[in-house]
């Protein structure tokens, strides 16, 4: 395909990511393990965005029931391997893309071969929990960047979709099981996941047919949790896949991307607001209300400091406090710390030299965040 035509097809991404960003994408290599509703959409958007090489890995065939959520499959593909049907479709969309289709089941004994070639990213879109754990552990041990899809079955609310580290997930039963089991394998953090905080309501498992009932364990992602036969609303796995693709595109193109760990935390913001009010009254007993409201708390916590302590980058038991106690509380004089760190911060003299206490790196980081906040506030 003529280079000018390729540039024209990628012109919107070129305008967004810049010449260097597109060049990095076109030289990148991404492996997608699992070619169903999540993986097919992730792969679809990666090749449309300019990724130069992908490897598709899946042993399954297209079925009629998968057409409600698959990115490229049509009725004529039913009965053919998913990865081959995707390769045919992708060659029509992006003929310059190097597409390696493997009709294979990922297992520990073939991991070296299937994940060979120094991929820039690996996408885990696997249904089975044991296979998923094997893939994630292999990527972790071999320092391969990976992002994993949790459970999209029985979900319907797109506003609940999150991207976070596996250690920060909540509500998702599959994420909880993966988190607990992979921790026993020596992995606490370092794996990004896409998941949903939605609690499924009024959804029943689809019945197993006679053949499936004889091999019920094959349909279980968790004990007594038959995720493969949970009803799936087509757009949700597509959104999971597109979220993963967007994340990877930005990472590979060096576009700033730092997802919020958790949304929907109004109760947390209210608690942190109460705790900050108590802290401020200790400093000045005449204070009745503080300068920041609940929305400000959420804004500072999530948008400015991304839920992380300015000292340790920890997300565990964090709160807000003044940075410089000789200056009034404001959006440019409030930071996130853990509770233990706040106790030590309070023990410093009010006019203590913070550079001496915390070092140049921490103080420069905080001041940069305050400048960022000032710029955001100017545009709000």
- Asked if residues 48 and 93 have their Cβ atoms less than 8 Å apart, the reply is yes
Question: Could you tell me the pLDDT band of residue 172, with boundaries at 50, 70 and 90?
Answer: confident
How distant, in Å, are the alpha carbons of 67, 155, 277 from that of 234? 9, 10, 46
Is residue 135 assigned to a domain?
yes
**160 or 4, which is more confident:** 4
CB neighbour list of residue 234: distance below 8 Å, 6 or more residues apart: 37, 68, 69
Q: Is the predicted pLDDT of residue 357 greater than 90, yes or no?
A: yes
CA distance 139 to 108: 11
Mean pLDDT score, 246-255: 97
Tokens of 329: 């509380």
Predicted pLDDT at 370? 94
Distance of CA 303 to the CA centre of its chain: 16
Q: Are residues 158 and 91 in the same domain?
A: yes
Q: Is the predicted pLDDT of residue 206 greater than 80, yes or no?
A: no
> What stretches of 115-234 show up as alpha helix (H) in DSSP?
129-141, 173-184, 210-214
- SS3 state at 345: helix
Q: Is the predicted pLDDT of residue 313 greater than 70, yes or no?
A: yes
Helices and strands: H and E segment counts in the chain: 14, 9
Q: Is the predicted pLDDT of residue 200 greater than 80, yes or no?
A: no
Lowest mean pLDDT: which of 32-36, 60-64, 120-124, 203-207?
A: 203-207
Residue 237, classified by CB atoms within 10 Å of its CB into exposed (0-12), middle (13-18) or buried (19+), is: buried
Mean pLDDT score, 262-287: 84
Q: Are residues 227 and 273 in the same domain?
A: no
Is residue 259 assigned to a domain?
no
Cα atoms in the 13 Å half-sphere on the side-chain side of 139: 29
The closest of 137, 166, 128, 143 to 261, measured between CA atoms, is 166
Is residue 245 assigned to a domain?
yes
In the predicted model, what is the mean pLDDT of the chain?
A: 89
Predicted pLDDT at 94? 97
- Asked if residues 40 and 86 have their Cβ atoms less than 8 Å apart, the reply is yes
**SS (HEC) of 116-136:** CCCCCEEEECCCCHHHHHHHH
Predicted pLDDT at 22? 97
Q: Are residues 137 and 97 in the same domain?
A: yes
- Asked if residues 65 and 20 have their Cβ atoms less than 8 Å apart, the reply is no
Mean pLDDT score, 119-128: 96
Q: Are residues 85 and 116 in the same domain?
A: yes
Predicted pLDDT at 192? 95
Over residues 207-233, the pLDDT tens digits come to 545 444 444 444 443 343 344 457 888
The pTM is what? Answer: 0.72
CA distance 355 to 304: 21
Is residue 257 assigned to a domain?
no
Q: Are residues 44 and 158 in the same domain?
A: yes
Tokens of 300: 């500072």
CA distance 11 to 89: 21
Is residue 258 assigned to a domain?
no
**59 or 223, which is more confident:** 59
Predicted pLDDT at 380? 52
Q: Are residues 92 and 226 in the same domain?
A: yes
Q: Are residues 373 and 281 in the same domain?
A: yes
Q: What percent of the chain has pLDDT over 90?
A: 68
Predicted pLDDT at 16? 96
CA distance 245 to 242: 5
Predicted pLDDT at 264? 54
Distance of CA 154 to the CA centre of its chain: 19
- Asked if residues 78 and 98 have their Cβ atoms less than 8 Å apart, the reply is no
Is residue 143 assigned to a domain?
yes
Q: Are residues 28 and 173 in the same domain?
A: yes
Q: Is the predicted pLDDT of residue 204 greater than 80, yes or no?
A: no
Over residues 152-164, the pLDDT tens digits come to 888 888 988 999 9
**200 or 289, which is more confident:** 289
- SS3 state at 354: helix
Mean pLDDT score, 241-254: 97
Distance of CA 314 to the CA centre of its chain: 18
**In terms of residue numbers, what domain contains 156?**
3-252
Predicted pLDDT at 316? 86
Among 201, 220, 252, the domain-final residue is 252
Predicted pLDDT at 169? 82
Mean pLDDT score, 77-93: 97
Predicted pLDDT at 227? 44
* CATH number assigned to the domain comprising residue 159: 3.40.50.720
């Amino acid at each position: 395909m003529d280079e000018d035509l390729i540039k024209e097809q990628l012109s919107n991404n070129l305008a967004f990511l810049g010449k260097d960003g597109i060049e990095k994408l076109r030289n990148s290599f991404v492996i997608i393990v699992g070619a169903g509703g999540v993986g097919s959409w992730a792969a679809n958007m990666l090749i449309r965005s300019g990724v130069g090489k992908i490897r598709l890995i899946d042993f399954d065939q297209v079925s009629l029931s998968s057409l409600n959520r698959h990115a490229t499959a049509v009725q004529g593909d039913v009965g053919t391997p998913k990865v081959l049907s995707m390769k045919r479709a992708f060659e029509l969309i992006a003929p310059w893309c190097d597409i390696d289709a493997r009709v294979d089941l990922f297992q520990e004994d073939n991991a070296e071969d299937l994940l060979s070639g120094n991929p820039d990213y690996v996408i885990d879109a696997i249904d089975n929990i044991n296979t998923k754990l094997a893939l994630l552990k292999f990527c972790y041990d071999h320092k391969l960047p990976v992002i994993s899809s949790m459970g999209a079955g029985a979900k319907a609310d797109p506003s609940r979709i999150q991207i976070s580290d596996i250690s920060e997930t909540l509500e998702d039963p599959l994420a909880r099981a993966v988190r607990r089991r992979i921790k026993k394998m020596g992995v606490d953090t370092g794996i990004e996941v896409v998941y949903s905080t939605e609690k499924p309501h009024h959804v029943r498992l689809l019945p197993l047919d006679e053949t499936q009932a004889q091999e019920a364990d094959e349909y279980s992602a968790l004990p007594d949790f038959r995720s493969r036969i949970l009803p799936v609303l087509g757009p949700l796995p597509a959104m999971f896949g597109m979220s993963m693709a967007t994340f990877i595109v930005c990472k590979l193109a060096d576009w700033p991307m730092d997802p919020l760990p958790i949304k929907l935390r109004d109760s947390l913001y209210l608690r942190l607001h109460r705790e900050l009010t108590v802290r401020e009254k200790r400093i000045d007993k005449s204070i009745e209300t503080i300068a920041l409201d609940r929305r400000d708390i959420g804004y500072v916590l999530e948008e400015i400091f991304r839920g992380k302590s300015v000292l340790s980058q920890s997300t565990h038991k964090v709160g807000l406090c003044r940075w410089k106690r000789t200056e009034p509380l404001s959006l440019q004089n409030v930071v996130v710390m853990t509770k233990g760190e706040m106790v030590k911060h309070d023990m410093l003299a009010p006019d203590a030299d913070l550079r001496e206490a915390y070092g140049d790196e921490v103080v420069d980081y905080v001041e940069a965040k305050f400048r960022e906040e000032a710029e955001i506030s100017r545009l709000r």
